[in-house]
Amino acid sequence: MRVRITVALLILPLAVSCSSARDRDRSAAAISINERFLDPDLDVQTWVRRWESESREVAAAREQIVRALELTPGKRIADVGAGTGLFVELFSKAVTDKGRVYAVDISPKFVAHIKERVASAGLSNVEVILSSENSVKLAEGSVDVVFLCDTYHHFEYPGPMLRSIHSALSKDGRLVVIDFERIPGKSREWVLNHVRAGKARVSDEITQAGFRFRDEVRIDGFLENYFIRFEKQ
């Protein structure tokens, strides 16, 4: 009896350790960060006004951002966390009918809105995809660029999401991340409370997922955001 109890006690810490390791793959600060976007009563127009206003850094700099992506006709780009579709038309124009744009989001309401936007604008090279919290739902090697704009800090499961992105990218694919600088003592309170990780930690997580850091791009008008690029290894 004593032997069986000892074995059980040895197994219990191992089980707890494995459970803790799985839990660490989920960003603790982001457990409920996407709850509002999954609400079936989400008012999309509220977010259109907020996210597409010129007062938002990425909205004001959207054309410069697109140029920095170095898109050419025929390229395939996935806008993961496309939200209200701010970049969809610009991406569609940049890759032309020879290319493909995938507008990806976990919010059914945003997906429905983007579909209406795409149909209204007659964008034949855009496909809208409802993703999940741990997968972008893209086929292996199906895109050349994955674009995350103020989206990475919304990843509740960064590990699985990065593995999904890595798989979706072509052999020489690129991952572009725009997110908020999080610097204790400098960043405003909203950023410190809303964004779980600073640029250094984000870069570490991405490189550990099989990417190589390429460079950081300066965007005029960025006071709170940064723009960094990675290549698939």
Residue 108 scores a pLDDT above 90: yes
Span 135-164, mean pLDDT? Answer: 97
Residue 56 scores a pLDDT above 70: yes
The pLDDT confidence band at residue 39, using thresholds 50, 70 and 90, is: very high
CATH entry 3.20.20.150 includes domain 29-232: no
Confidence at residue 23, expressed as pLDDT on a 0 to 100 scale = 41
Residue 70 scores a pLDDT above 60: yes
Residue 233 and residue 212 in contact, taking contact as beta carbons nearer than 8 Å: yes
Q: What is the pLDDT of residues 176-217, one digit of tens each?
A: 999 999 999 999 999 999 999 999 999 999 999 999 999 999
Confidence at residue 32, expressed as pLDDT on a 0 to 100 scale = 74
Average pLDDT, the chain: 90
Per-domain residue ranges of the chain: 29-232
Span 8-19, mean pLDDT? Answer: 41
The pLDDT confidence band at residue 105, using thresholds 50, 70 and 90, is: very high
- Tokens 């990806």, residue located: 104
Q: pTM here?
A: 0.86
Select from 93, 84, 148, 149 the least CA-distant residue to 125: 93
Retrieve residue 3's tokens.
């032997």
Residue 11 scores a pLDDT above 90: no
Residue 30 scores a pLDDT above 60: no
∠ CA 143-141-166, nearest 5°, is 85
Structure-model confidence comparison of residues 12 and 59, the more confident one? 59
CA distances from residue 194 to 7, 18, 71, 144, 230 in whole angstroms, order as listed: 44, 28, 31, 30, 24
Retrieve residue 63's tokens.
């054309």
